[in-house]
Amino acid sequence: MTDRAWFDAAKGDIPQWAASMPKDADGTTIDWDWVRSLDLAHGVGTVPESTPQSIHDALKADYATREHLESIIAQCNSTFMTDYDRFIGSYRLPRALAYANRRLNDNINTLLHLGEQQHLWVVSRERRGRTTVAVLRPYSGSRPSNDDQGMLNLSGETGDASAGNTAAENSDVKFPTTVALDDIQDRTAAILDARAERRKAQRFQKRAGDAAMARANLSGATSPGGAASSGNATGHHPKPDWRDAYLPGRDVDAVMGIDIETTGIDPARDYIIDVGFEFMNMASPRPAGEPETYAYEQGYYAAGDAYGQSRLAFGVPPENAALGNALIAKLTGIDVRGRSSEAGYRLFDEWPQAQAGLLARLTQQPYVAHNATFEHSWFMLNVAGYAESYRAGRITIIDTLPMSRQWDPGAVPTNEHPYGDNTLDAYAKRQGALDSAHNERHLGLEDSHIMLVAMKHHLAALKAQRKGPWGPAGRAGVGGKSCGRKR
């Protein structure tokens, strides 16, 4: 399909989802007729008049819409992956909802900025629990404010001429004297915390049930400790956890390393702006005929055994570019103000050919990432066909983060790093892939390169020491995480 026709196809999947997923991630019954009514392709945000109350009302409506959308999106992954009868054939509806939610999030940020411009509030970004939220406080430039009231006086009365004119003083429109702030606070942190508490309670109930069953059938008489970790040279023995499923096996060879840079950490709110990947063989010789050199941004990087390097740049919508992103610009050097689609940059979630090309590479061999669940979550909501391919077992994922955590003697727990320092920067330096005088670049291709070099060095050392994949708890095959088939 071309253009926006896939949104109609996505809505055509609603009966399948409605039958399999009656409730969202917060246990609320989903109004699928409401979902069907949304204009996913052209935007679900509210465009207000430029009056204080209109801006307030638009922000309140957009927050409510985002909460509904995100609670549905959050439930889609588990529903799709546990649909063992394959009643739901496609993941395009969650991708369409995420597409609309990203534009909605841009609209929310635009409204927040507009409110600041009109002195309706002051916005601060604060870390709360599992996320960062926008906190609104009364604007105090014109007169003292009371944070406890959650109200802003817009009467135009001022005791401080240096504060500048208020929006009410610059308009012929009769503005209300106050705008409530308590009903337009970002509830994301509270929602995520409550969701996590419900999952915790469910896990506790499951463990209690499993323990009761073990006592009933005497299965607890066998070794209760589970599989032993191979540990490391320091005597530190990390506990096995769910990330261990992403560890490589002793027969791993040709892999593709990949790293993405994004405008934030939420694939349902933010955009992919940089993708870098390259290939490397962990055991066999480098393929003949591949170019011998490649020019990375860092001149001190040597291509070595890497081949097939690629760097892809993507854009953001004009509304996102207009607001800028100082944090990402500082971290990566990418200024989204120059990455607008109006400047000629294609958006990844609007570029089917780019998605298809990336998917073809992701399915050819295992792909490797550092903290691979991050890349995986973004591909699920951005790459057409990825979720379906993953569920069918055509994608295998290897993660160097658990390699660092489980098999690297240097990853010892400290007060600052209770599980050891397992950042890509630290791991690459310990494995000789990055000079101690330099730091991780935070660009897709460069980070993919040091990750693969570190992985190859690490595997070679583990093989020589008969540890890791070659140790007592190691496994044959390429290893990694995949679904739908036995390894």
Domain count, the chain: 2
pLDDT for 215 equals 76
Residue 123: helix, strand or coil by DSSP?
A: strand
- Report whether pLDDT(96) > 70: yes
What residues have CB less than 8 Å from 100, skipping those under 6 apart?
A: 38, 40, 41, 43, 44, 69
pLDDT for position 230? 47
- Interhelix angle 400-407/444-465, nearest 10 degrees: 40
Residue 174 lies in a domain: no
The arithmetic mean of pLDDT across residues 476-482, rounded, is 96
Please check whether residues 300 and 429 belong to one and the same domain: yes
pLDDT band at 237 (very low <50, low <70, confident <90, very high): low
In order, the DSSP letters of 10-28 are HHTTHHHHHHH--B-TTSP
Q: CA 287, CA 358: separation in Å to the nearest integer? A: 21
CATH of the domain at 397: 3.30.420.10
190 and 336 inside one domain: no
Distance of CA 39 to CAs 14, 30, 105, 383, 467, Å? 14, 17, 15, 21, 55
Q: Are residues 193 and 279 in the same domain?
A: no
Q: Residue 286 falls within a domain, yes or no?
A: yes
Residue type, 426: A
Helix intervals (H) in 245-336: 318-323, 326-332
Please determine, for residue 154, whether its predicted confidence score (pLDDT) is greater than 80. no
Domain assignment present for 45: yes
Looking at per-residue confidence, does 236 or 373 come out higher?
373
The mean per-residue pLDDT over the stretch 342-352 comes to 95
Instruction: Answer yes or no: do 273 and 361 share one domain.
Output: yes
Q: Is residue 59 part of a domain?
A: yes
Residue 129 lies in a domain: yes
SS3 324: coil
Average the pLDDT over each of 37-46, 130-139, 142-151, 232-241 and give the range with the smallest value: 142-151
Same domain flag for 255 and 187: no
Residue 219 within any structural domain of the chain = no
Q: Is 193 in the same domain as 293?
A: no
pLDDT at 152 over 80: no
Cross-strand partners of 399: 369
Distance CA 291, CA 297 (A): 17
Looking at the structure, tell me whether residues 101 and 249 fall in a common domain.
Answer: no
Average pLDDT, the chain: 87
Which H or E run contains 257? strand 254-262
Name 325's Cβ contacts closer than 8 Å, sequence gap at least 6: 263, 335, 336
Within a domain: residue 227? no
Question: Tokens standing for 182?
Answer: 């308590």
In this prediction, residue 236 carries a pLDDT of 60
Q: Does the residue 144 lie in any domain?
A: no
36 and 100 inside one domain: yes
Provide the percentage of residues in the chain whose pLDDT is more than 70.
Answer: 87
Q: Say yes or no: 305 and 412 in one domain.
A: yes
Condensed to tens digits (0 to 9), the pLDDT of residues 304-313 reads 999 999 999 9
Full domain range(s) for residue 30: 4-136+179-198
457 and 393 inside one domain: yes
Q: Is the pLDDT of residue 125 over 90?
A: yes
- Asked if 259 and 393 sit in the same domain, the reply is yes
Please enumerate in sequence order all residues whose Cβ is within 8 A of that of 36, keeping only pairs 6 or more positions apart, or say none.
Answer: 11, 14
Flag whether pLDDT at 303 surpasses 90.
no
- Is the model's pLDDT at 419 over the cut of 80? no
Same domain, 364 and 418: yes
Q: CA-CA distance, 487 to 199, in Å (whole number)? A: 29
What mean pLDDT comes out for the span 2-25?
92
